[in-house]
Amino acid sequence: MATAKTAPAHPPELRRAVTAWGSFSWGYSDVGADIFVGLGLVLAAAAGATNVAFLFAGIVYVCIGLAYTELAAAYPFAGGGPYFVLRGLGDIFGFIAGWAVLLDFTIDITLFAWSCVDYSSQLLPSLVGSSHPWIHFGAVLSLIVALCALNVIGVRESTAFNGVVAALDIVSETSILCFGFLFAFAPRILIHTMATAWPSPYQLMLGTSLAIISFVGLESISQAAQETYRPASIIPRTSTSLILTILIFALSYSNLALGMQPWHPIVGPHGQHLAFWQIFPNNPDNQGKAVALLAAQVPYWGALAAFYVPVLGAILLLISSNSGVFGSSRIAYSMSRLDLLPSVFQRVHPRFRTPAVSLVAFCGLAVVTLVFASLPSLFPGAVAFYRDVLHGEGGLDFLADLYAFGAATSYSFVFLALIALRLVDPYTPRKFKIPLNAPVRFRGEKTSIPVLGIVGFFGIFSILVFTLMTHPIGRIAGPLWLAAGVVLYFVYRRHRGLPFLRSHPRNWRQHQIDILRTSGDLELLDQYTAALKAADERAAERA
C-alpha cells in the first residue's frame, strides 16, 4: 500500500477517440473551407489565369497530401510535420518547421473566424467589417474564445461537431457545382476570359502563392494521428479520399467562376484589383465571401443558395478555425514532448485530457493577430502605416500573406524529411507509400527515393519564392517570426543544457515501438521488430 501511494503517477496521455470519419472530417474541416477564402483572393490576383494558378497549386497539394499520408501512417505521433522533420533532419530543423506551422495554424484560427463573420454578413449586414468594424472585431474575438473553450472540453466533442458540418458542406458544394455547370457555365466565356484577362507574370505568381491557401490543412489528419485508433489503416483511406475531394472542388470552382460571368476588372484607389468579376460589387469586403456570391448567381437554384450558402459557409469556416485551434495545440504539445518547447505546453488537463495550456496560449496569439489585422479598420490612422510601411492593406491581406508563408516554409521541410526518413529509417513498415519510387542503397541497406517527393519539394519551394516576391507583409513578418523563434529556441536549449545545433540523443527505435504498440497496429509492430533484428544481424556479419 505504501509503495502504491508513493509511486509516481503516469502523466495523462491524449486519448484515442478519433474514428475513420472523424479523421476525414478533421482534414476536411480545415482544408475544405479554404476555397471559401481563397477563391476571391486568387480571382483578384490571377484574373483569367485563376484556374491555372489553382492547377499548379493543386499538383503541389497532391504531392503534399501523399507525403503526409505516408509519414502519418508510418509515424502516428501527435504534431505531424515538425515531428517528421525532427526525426529526418534533426532538432533545429524540426523546430523551424514546427514554428512555421505554429504560425500557420495560429493565423488559421483568426483567418477563418474572420471569414466566418464575413460570410455571416451576407445575411447580417451589421457584421460587415468596413461598415461596423468594432462589431466585426467583437464577433471574431467571441468566436476565438468560444472555440478555445470547446477544445479544452475535449477532442471527441470537437470531432463530432466537425463531422456533421463536413457532411453537410460536401453535399452543398457538390450542389453548387452541379447546378452551376448545368445552368450558368459557358465554355465560350471561360475561353474569352482566359484570352482577354490573362495576368502579368507578377500577378500570376501572386495568384499561385494565394492558391496554395486553398489546399492548406490536410496535415490536420496527421496531427490527430496519436488520437486515431489503428492509424496505419485509417489514415491512408481518409487522406486519399480528402486529396481527391478537395482537388476536384478547387479546380471546378475556379473554372466555374471564370465561365459564369463576363469579365470586368475593378481597380481600387491604390491600383490594386478589388474584383475582376461582374458579380462582385465594388467593395473589398466581398472578396472574403466569393463562394456565396457565386452561388447566388446560379439560375433557379441561386435564389435558395443566396440564403443557404452563406450560413453553411460560415459554419464550415468556423470549424476550419476550430481545426486551427486543434492543430496549433497538438503541434505545441508534440514539440514540448520532444524538447523543442518548454514542458508547460505538454501539460494535459487532468479531467478532459486535452493540452489546455497550449490551447489557451495559441488562441491568445490568435487574438494578437486579430488586433493587428483589424487596426486599419478600427483606427483609420493605421491605414497609412500598412500602405506606406508594410505595402499592404491589412485585414485579409495581412492574414493571407502570413498564411501562405507559413504553409510554403513548413511543407518544404516536410518533403526533405520524407526523403531523409526513407534513407535513415528503412526499417519502419510503410503500409502506404507515395507512388513512383527509385530503388537505392544507403549505408548498406535497400531503400528507395520518392520521385514525387522531389517534384513536390521543387513545386512548394517555388511557391515559397513567389510568396517572398509578391507578399510585402509576408516577406517581412514571416522571416521575423522565424528569427524570433530561433532566438527563443536557443534560449530554451541553453536553459535546459541541450545542444543548440546538434540533436538531443534519442532512442528512436524504442520510441517507434512504443507508438506502434499504443496505436493498436500490433502487426506492424511485429514487422518492425523483425526488421530491426535482421538489420542488427547484417551489421554484426559486416563487422
Q: Which amino acid appears at position 183 of this protein?
A: F
DSSP of 21-85: HHHHHHHHHHHTTHHHHHHHHHHHHHGGGHHHHHHHHHHHHHHHHHHHHHHHHHS--TTSHHHHH
CB 354 within 8 A of CB 333: no
33 CB contacts (<8 Å, ≥6 apart)? 112, 115, 169, 217, 313, 316, 317, 319, 320
CB 451 within 8 A of CB 436: yes
* Averages of pLDDT over each 10 residues, the chain, 543 residues: 40 50 67 83 87 94 91 80 90 93 90 88 71 84 90 62 75 87 90 88 91 79 61 78 89 90 53 47 60 82 81 84 82 84 80 80 91 77 56 68 88 94 93 92 89 95 92 84 93 89 88 84 88 88 77
Work out the number of other CB atoms within 10 angstroms of the CB of residue 480.
10
CA distance 358 to 324: 12
CA distance 77 to 83: 8
Q: Are strands 273-277 and 445-450 parallel, antiparallel or unpaired?
A: unpaired
Q: Which amino acid appears at position 439 of this protein?
A: P
Q: Which fold has domain 39-506?
A: Amino acid/polyamine transporter I (1.20.1740)
Residue-level pLDDT at 86:
92
Q: Is the dihedral of CA 150, 152, 157, 159 positive or negative?
A: positive
CA distance 27 to 365: 23
Cα–Cα distances in Å, from 18 out to 66, 118, 253, 350, 407?
Answer: 21, 31, 30, 19, 25
CB 337 within 8 A of CB 346: yes
Residue-level pLDDT at 37:
84
| Per-residue H/E/C for 191-204 | HHHHHHCCCCHHHH
- CA 185 from chain centre, in angstroms, equals 30
SS3 264: strand
**CA-based Rg of the chain, rounded to a whole angstrom?**
23
SS3 156: helix
Residue located via cell numbers 450560413 = 311
Residue-level pLDDT at 357:
85
Residue-level pLDDT at 476:
84
Length of the chain (residues): 543
- Stated as kind and residue range, the H or E segment containing 530 is helix 522-542
Going by C-alpha positions, the residue among 363, 353, 457, 389 that lies closest to residue 85 is: 457
C-alpha cell at 543: 563487422
CA distance 87 to 241: 27
DSSP of 332-344: HHHHHHTTSS-GG
CA distance 335 to 308: 41
Please give the span between the terminal C-alpha atoms of the chain, in angstroms, as a whole number: 50
Residue-level pLDDT at 490:
92
Residue-level pLDDT at 79:
64
C-alpha cell at 266: 475593378
Backbone angles phi, psi at 265, to 5 degrees: -65, 140
